[in-house]
Amino acid sequence: MEKIAVFPGSFDPITRGHVALVKRALPLFDKVIVAIGINSQKKYLFPLEQRIAWINATFADEPKVEVAHFEKLTAHFCERVGAKYLLRGLRNASDFDYEKTISQLNAAVSEGLETVFLISEPQYSHISSTIVREIIKGGGDARQFVPEEVEL
């Protein structure tokens, strides 16, 4: 059976940290679905279509990477696409605290759903979409933090 991992997030926008994580996960899985979760309560800086287009362009040469979007529960999306694994990155202790709870919740909602955590490489552990958005809002140049395909 195909080993499918879902990498869920907002990707507002995708960063070099996300890209490095997906590339490291590729040897572990047959397919990695980068899945944009849509929360109607949340305000995003970039429209969904733009975020999808950037992720598609970034992984254009990676046949094992797919891009998708979903509403509501991540665990249910995983069931729909036949994914038994969630992929998440850990940058620091606060990521760990948050991710631990979410991972246990997801396993409770969908039995057997395993979250695979990859510890961020040091050169990426300071990068977050939040920081990128703050730099953009402040009129700065955030291009060093995002893949070349993201045109800021």
Residue from 5, 6, 17, 85 touching ligand ADP (CB under 6 A): that is 17
In total, the chain counts a number of residues equal to 152
Count CB neighbours of 104 within 10 A: 11
Half-sphere exposure of 136 (CA within 13 A, CB side): 18
SS3 content of the chain, % helix, strand, coil (to 5): 40, 20, 35
The reply on whether position 22 binds ligand ADP by CB under 6 A is no
Site string for ligand ADP, 84-103 (x = CB under 6 A): ----xx-x---x--------
The reply on whether position 11 binds ligand ADP by CB under 6 A is yes
The reply on whether position 127 binds ligand ADP by CB under 6 A is yes
Catalytic residue among 31, 64, 91, 133: 91
SS3 67: strand
Spatial distance between the Cα atoms of 145 and 40, rounded to a whole number of angstroms: 27
The reply on whether position 21 binds ligand ADP by CB under 6 A is yes
Residue from 120, 132, 142, 146 touching ligand ADP (CB under 6 A): that is 120
76 among known catalytic residues: no
Which of 10-18, 75-83, 104-112, 132-140 is the region at the interface with ligand ADP (rule: CB under 6 A)? Answer: 10-18
DSSP state of 138: T
The token pair that represents 45 in the structure block: 């800086």
Contact 65, 34 (CB under 8 A): yes
Kindly state the smallest distance separating residue 60's Cβ from ligand ADP, in Å: 20
Q: Given the rule CB under 6 A, which residues bind ligand ADP? A: 9-11, 15, 17-18, 21, 88-89, 91, 95, 120, 124, 127-129
